[in-house]
Structures are given as structure tokens and as C-alpha cells.
Amino acid sequence: MKTVLVIEDEAAVRDLICHHLAREGFRPQGCRDAESAYRLLQGDLPDAIVLDLMLPGMQGLEFCRMLRAKERTAGIPVIIVTAKEDELDKLLGFELGADDYLTKPFSPRELVARLRAVLRRSSGAGSSLHPRCFERDGLFVDFAGHQVKVRGKEVRLTATEFRLLRHFISHPEIVFSRDELLDAVWGPQTFVLPRTVDVHIQRLRSLIEEDPSRPAFIVTVRGAGYKFRSGSQ
């Protein structure tokens, strides 16, 4: 049974989410703020987190940033739920490492579907089509061990960033449009903005490229999309 930490300050909304998650076979844990959630995370880690943005005390985006900065919690899938509809807020949430985003009001059925999708993607092991390891020009990736090193120094990627990098490495020199990357990495049933791909690629470049403004690995093909170079240029 998968455990889901629900961080929502409105008791009625929190109880409703937890009720539907329990009905669908999850084990929900409810918290009203980031501080109490942080204390819970010192024990057993949940399989996923449902995070409201507007919280008392530490805000949801700051909490998401903190999760991604710590090795122990960096890989936990996070779904942000909020009443804020601004596109910039969504993009900022993705940039900080959120795996999906729901705007209130939403149906509990949709939340459950999104939650199952991010859990399925985060737990998907590499298939036989994926190499065990990749190493080139200072970039080392251990796919089975979910480890990335750049010039000998380990860097922490979110689950989505790691899937994106694995997809590129597994398909060198193939140009992918934003929509194709959304389908391959986020899944066809996930409704996120195409601009989200750009945000994740920019962040991925900042982590693995020596000079993100002149990328050696993930390059832009103007008017078409992105590709992963198969060798040094």
C-alpha cells in the first residue's frame, strides 16, 4: 500500500483528499503545514506528496525547494495543488521539481489518476533498451543506481529530470519536439504545458552542462525541438 503525505491547511479539503485516497487503496497522512510535514519526514518517507502552495508559515514552493535540495527526499514525487492559476506559478513549481500540478477546484478522481501516473513513472525501472551506465565528457549516469555525477561530483536530479535525461541518452541524435517529450517522459495522460519541457531542460542543463549557454549534451534544434548529442562536437 502506497503512503501519500497530504499537506493542506484547510481541514475540510485535507480530509476530503485523504478520504478519497483511502478509498482508492492508498495510506494517506494529513498535515496542515510544512513544519509538521517536515517532522513526519524524519521518520518513514511517503511514496508521494500532495502539496498545497498556500500554507501558513513556510509556503509550498519553498517546501518543494527544500525537498529537492535534500538527498533523502529529492526523489519523492510531488503533486502541487493550489487555487492559483497563473502560468508563471505553474512553471515555477515545475522548475523547483514538482512532478504535476492541479488547480482547485479539482475532482478527487483526477487527483487519484495523476497520483497513480507519477507513482508509475517514478517507479518504472529501466528496460533492456536502456544502457546500465553512461559516461562521456565528465558526465556519468548509473541508471540502475539512479546516480548522476558531473566531473566526479554527484548531482541530485528529481525523478522527472532523471527520466528526461535517461530518455535523451537512450535516443541519441533523435530530435524530439516538446509534445513528444511530454508523451515520453510525463505520459500522454498528464496535462502540463509544453513550456514545462523548456523549464526542465534549462534546469537539467544547469546541472550537467559545463556551460549551459553552450550545451554539449542536450542541444536545441531550432524550429524542431531538442536532441542529445552522441559525441563531442
Task: Please report the DSSP string for 19-40 in residue order.
Answer: HHHHHTT-EEEEESSHHHHHHH
Rg (CA), the chain: 18
Q: Which ranges in the chain are annotated with CATH 1.10.10.10?
A: 133-228
Which of 7-16, 42-51, 84-93 bottoms out in mean pLDDT, i.e. has the lowest? 84-93
pLDDT at 128: 37
The stretch 24-52 carries a mean pLDDT of 94
What is the architecture of the domain spanning 133-228? Orthogonal Bundle (1.10)
pTM: 0.59
The stretch 10-35 carries a mean pLDDT of 94
What is the architecture of the domain spanning 3-123? 3-Layer(aba) Sandwich (3.40)
For helices 87-95 and 60-69, angle between their N-to-C axes, nearest 10 degrees: 20
| 44-70 residue pLDDT tens | 999 999 999 889 999 888 898 888 878
Contact 121, 182 (CB under 8 A): no
pLDDT at 142: 86
The 10 Å CB-count burial string (b at 16+, else e) for 68-77 is beeeebbbbb
Q: What is the C-alpha separation between 138 and 149, in angstroms, rounded? A: 8
Q: What is the C-alpha separation between 99 and 49, in angstroms, rounded? A: 10
Q: Which ranges in the chain are annotated with CATH 3.40.50.2300?
A: 3-123
| 118-144 residue pLDDT tens | 887 776 544 334 456 888 899 999 887
Given pLDDT bands bounded at 50, 70 and 90, which one contains residue 85? low
